Amino acid sequence: MIVPYSGDDEAETAKKTVMSIRLLGLRTVIYPAPDLEAVKTWWSKFLGVAPYFDEPFYVGFNAGGYELGLLPDADPAAGALTYWGVDDVAEAVAAALQAGALEHNAATDVGDGIITATVTTPSGSIVGFIFNPHFELPIIAG
């Protein structure tokens, strides 16, 4: 929940806004892939692994324990989309909207209990939120 302090100056109020949404860390990056087969081949060669999920509407790789997705209907002009892990996508979107963002893509269950949404910040950046009940932080040996 966003709790703005009262004040006349909008910029000062924004600086004092308290955010209680907890971002759990980056989870996913999705690249536009208008030529899905060519892009999939390149990433497979580059990563040295085949995708774990391979459908005409989406291709997913496990890259270091994180999702690297290819989306054939994404707009290349918009660039890659990154998704922050959250416990509640609807709550994260509501907090972002209250802070001045605009809805880009509404919260959607994309399958298997995974929920995503995107917002556009006042500066024009697209920010994604994801709840993935199957995600586990990768263990890094060191």
In this predicted model, what pLDDT tens digit does every residue of 46-77 receive, in sequence order?
A: 999 999 999 999 999 999 889 999 999 998 98
Instruction: Tell me how many domains the chain contains.
Output: 1
Query: Domain for residue 139, yes or no?
Result: no
Whether 136 is covered by a domain: the verdict is no
Q: Tell me, yes or no, whether 7 lies in a domain.
A: no
* pLDDT mean over 31-38: 95
pLDDT at 139: 75
Angle, alpha carbons 79-131-84 (nearest 5°):
40
Work out the average pLDDT over 76-87: 92
In angstroms, rounded to a whole number, what is the distance separating the alpha carbons of residues 130 and 110?
10
| Alpha carbons 80 and 54: distance in angstroms, whole number | 19
CATH of the domain at 40: 3.10.180.10
Is 82 within a domain?
yes
Q: Residue 110 sits in which domain range?
A: 25-131
Residues 117-126: pLDDT tens digits? 999 999 888 9
Nearest of 92, 86, 72, 60 to residue 32 by alpha carbon: 72
Please check whether residue 112 is in contact with residue 67, taking contact to mean a CB–CB distance below 8 angstroms: no
Q: Is the pTM of this model over 0.85?
A: no
Mean pLDDT to the nearest integer, 104-116: 93
Residue 1's pLDDT is what? 42
In a domain, 56, yes or no: yes
> Is 8 within the bounds of a domain?
no
In a domain, 141, yes or no: no
pLDDT of residue 55: 95
Residue 110 belongs to some domain of the structure: yes
Query: How high is the mean pLDDT of the chain?
Result: 87
